[in-house]
Chains A and B, each alone.
Chain A
């Protein structure tokens, strides 16, 4: 299972674009990259998932360079409601090692008015 490394915390202001980078140097060929968001007192929820290049949905974009050793979650024009912890997870549905999963501590994003 690929280990991931993220910044512990980030601060931003409303209306700014926020980019959170996750390092996963030993990502395997079959691994996908998934980002989750967690608000206080709630379980994590899926934001976006990708394998390579760029993925965009109504919430965020995910940029993955050609070597796939890192990925960047991009949140356009953040608002106060985007204050949350963001987790990066790398794995494959059939990866037998992935069950010992840990989301790590994630990145705590604080958006200021």
Chain B
């Protein structure tokens, strides 16, 4: 596709419910990132996928957060038993990693999650 797409663009849910956020990366990009951005703050790394390697989950804040990626395609971020502090914009980025070279991340528009 032309760019990274994310869905839904906005999600309002009740505390305790599960939510799924979707990311479609740029075709051919091997790397995919999820970030969280709270209002007025910087981007917080959550998880990273690269090809068939085991994902780097070191940024996931709790076991309520999980993510999957189908090959080098779509990724889903799942938040179980949502809490009000999960309210944020969830951003997805993809990149084409080249050995020994610089990397440029291309971001989607984000999903704005509000937990009531």
Instruction: Write the residues of chain A forming the contact surface with B, with a CB cutoff of 8 angstroms.
Output: 30, 32, 34, 36, 41-46, 49, 51, 87, 91-94, 99-106
Contact = CB atoms under 8 A, between A and B. Distances in A.
Contacts of B98: 93
Nearest to B31: A93
A99 B56 contact: yes
Given A43-B109, A92-B103, 14 more contacts: A34-B103, A34-B104, A36-B105, A45-B107, A49-B102, A87-B42, A91-B103, A94-B97, A100-B58, A100-B59, A102-B44, A102-B45, A104-B42, A105-B42
30 contacts: A34-B103, A36-B105, A43-B4, A43-B91, A43-B107, A43-B110, A44-B91, A45-B106, A45-B107, A46-B104, A46-B106, A49-B102, A49-B104, A87-B42, A87-B43, A92-B103, A93-B100, A94-B97, A94-B100, A99-B45, A99-B56, A99-B59, A100-B58, A100-B59, A102-B44, A102-B45, A103-B35, A103-B43, A104-B42, A105-B42
Given A42-B109, A43-B93, A43-B108, A101 B100 contact: no
Interface of B: 4, 33, 35, 41-45, 48, 56, 58-59, 91, 93, 97-110
Contacts of A106: 42
Interface of A is mostly: loop
B30 to A, nearest CB: 10
Given A42-B109, A43-B91, A43-B108, A100 B43 contact: no
A42 B9 CA distance: 11
B107 A44 contact: yes
Contact of B102 (A43, A44, A93): A93
Nearest to A105: B42
